[in-house]
Amino acid sequence: MLIAAACRLAPGMRIADVGAGTGLFEPLFSTLVGPAGRVEALDISPEFVAHMKRRVVLEALANVDVVQCPDDATGLPPASVDVVFVCDVYHHFEHPEKNLASLRATLKPDGRLVVVDFDRVEGKSSDFVLHHVRAGAGQFTQEILAAGFALERGENAEEAAALKESWLAVFVKSAGR
């Protein structure tokens, strides 16, 4: 899967899925990090958290922790994860500066932030995206760069075709901030 490959997970790593929702990626992430790794499934919604907790038990995902977090922070300890994954959630951030500061603090040195979100492009995007998403990939990328991240890689043409109305980018926690 293209999105999981962008995370570059390996056994023993720790990933935070911010805005995990129903836990779609948790079984895959759990397998990729293996028994020595951890998956932190975070969401602000009590309903999603309850759903994911049931799912973790039913699917025996022993290395997945489900946590309800505030809307502007991960609630995780500093420098505690290798990868932060944000899928179709960034556009919901009401406090992007605070959210990004928390994501950055949560990452270990040289940790990666993987963002997948709807790409808002006038004349191309669906009405849903145009009315639901506040900005496009360019503005979101600038916000992330301004928060102390460096762009490791942006979406390529193959990814753009596969993701249709979404974009994908991988950022690295920059040193010195």
DSSP 39-79: EEEEES-HHHHHHHHHHHHHTT-TTEEEEE--TT---PPTT
pLDDT at 2: 79
Which residue type, as a one-letter code, is found at position 35? Answer: P
Identify the architecture of domain 2-172 in CATH. 3-Layer(aba) Sandwich (3.40)
Kindly give the confidence (pLDDT) of every residue in the chain, 177 residues in length, as a single tens digit, with 9 standing for 90 and above.
Answer: 778 889 999 999 999 999 999 999 999 999 999 999 999 999 999 999 999 999 999 999 999 999 999 999 999 999 999 999 999 898 888 889 999 999 999 999 999 999 998 876 677 756 665 566 666 777 788 999 999 999 987 765 455 556 677 889 899 998 765
Q: Which strands make up the sheet holding 64-68, listed edge to edge?
A: 64-68, 38-43, 14-18, 81-87, 107-118, 166-173, 149-153
- DSSP alpha helix (H) spans, the chain: 2-7, 26-33, 46-58, 96-106, 127-132, 137-146, 157-163
Q: How many residues does this entry show for the chain?
A: 177
Other Cβ atoms less than 10 A from the Cβ of 1: the count is 9
pLDDT at 157: 46
Q: Which residue has the tokens 């994501």?
A: 103
pLDDT at 131: 66
Can you give the residue ranges of every domain in the chain? 2-172
